[in-house]
Amino acid sequence: MFPDALLALDDYDLRSIHHWGWRDMARMAAVLPGESPLYALLHRLKGERVARRKEVVETLFVLDRIAPELARARTLCEVGAGHGQLGLLAAALARGGLAVTQLDRRQPDSFARIQELLTLERPSAKTAVRYHEKRVDRLDALPACDLAVGVHLCGALTDTFADLACAAGVPFAVVPCCESRALLPAGVDLPSGDPEPLVTAARLDRWRARGYAIEERIIPAEVTDRGRLFVCTPDPA
């Protein structure tokens, strides 16, 4: 199944920071048919020096892992959107059936260029996506949405994002990053090694206490060393 088929490609470093180019499209041709809408969208990015292989590949894996939730959503809020590839590709693939709000402290120049290129293939990459320069830690509430997503939200931003999503009562998917001992609840014995297991356990307990069912979906280590994606859904019970 794509994109996991990328893992079987020989001599192809999925973590490479080289810009997306012709070589990448040649590799895509081996696992993704040329008539695929996704292939056509990725083809627009080749040689434009606006997207790096690592970022593109990780975006493809995140989109794949949250595909069931995206299929049910009409509105998506992406927090910490960065270059905007996830929301732009999601909107383009949805053929106008998904409105996307993207939030980050600064809209990089690359966002407008990526949006322009994808719009050549799918106008919905332009019409359905709005990028707002806002800091997550200064938000009073999330924009109205059916699904909230945050990828590589560093440190306490994961907790801020989750608190906002829980307050809104919306499903959310998050890939945490940069856990530290400072994120542990008061009274927890500080670990001598990696604090990530304890930080994650405390987070999952908090989210469950707020009425969320949680499913962990893994992004392979060949793609990123921060591959724990948590899909959190309000429990109707």
SS3 letters across the chain: CCCHHHHHCCCCCCCCCCECCHHHHHHHHHHCCCCCHHHHHHHHHCCCCCCEHHHHHHHHHHHHHCHHHHHHCCEEEEECCCCCHHHHHHHHHCCCCCEEEEEECCCCHHHHHHHHHHHHHCCHHHHCEEEEECCHHHCCCCCCCCEEEEEEEECCHHHHHHHHHHHHCCCEEEEEECCCHHHCCCCCCCCCCCCHHHHHHHHHHHHHHCCEEEEEEECCCCCCCCCEEEEEEECCC
What confidence tens digit (pLDDT) does each residue in 197-226 have?
888 999 999 999 999 999 999 999 999 999
Is it the case that residue 134 has pLDDT exceeding 80? yes
Q: Please tell me the pTM assigned to this model.
A: 0.95
Instruction: Label residue 68 by pLDDT band (50, 70, 90).
Output: very high
Identify the pLDDT of residue 216. 98
Instruction: Label residue 193 by pLDDT band (50, 70, 90).
Output: confident
Mean predicted lDDT score pLDDT of the chain = 94
CATH superfamily of the domain spanning 57-234: Vaccinia Virus protein VP39 (3.40.50.150)
What confidence tens digit (pLDDT) does each residue in 6-64 have?
999 999 999 999 999 999 999 999 999 999 999 999 999 999 999 999 999 999 999 99
Q: Where are the domains of the chain?
A: 57-234
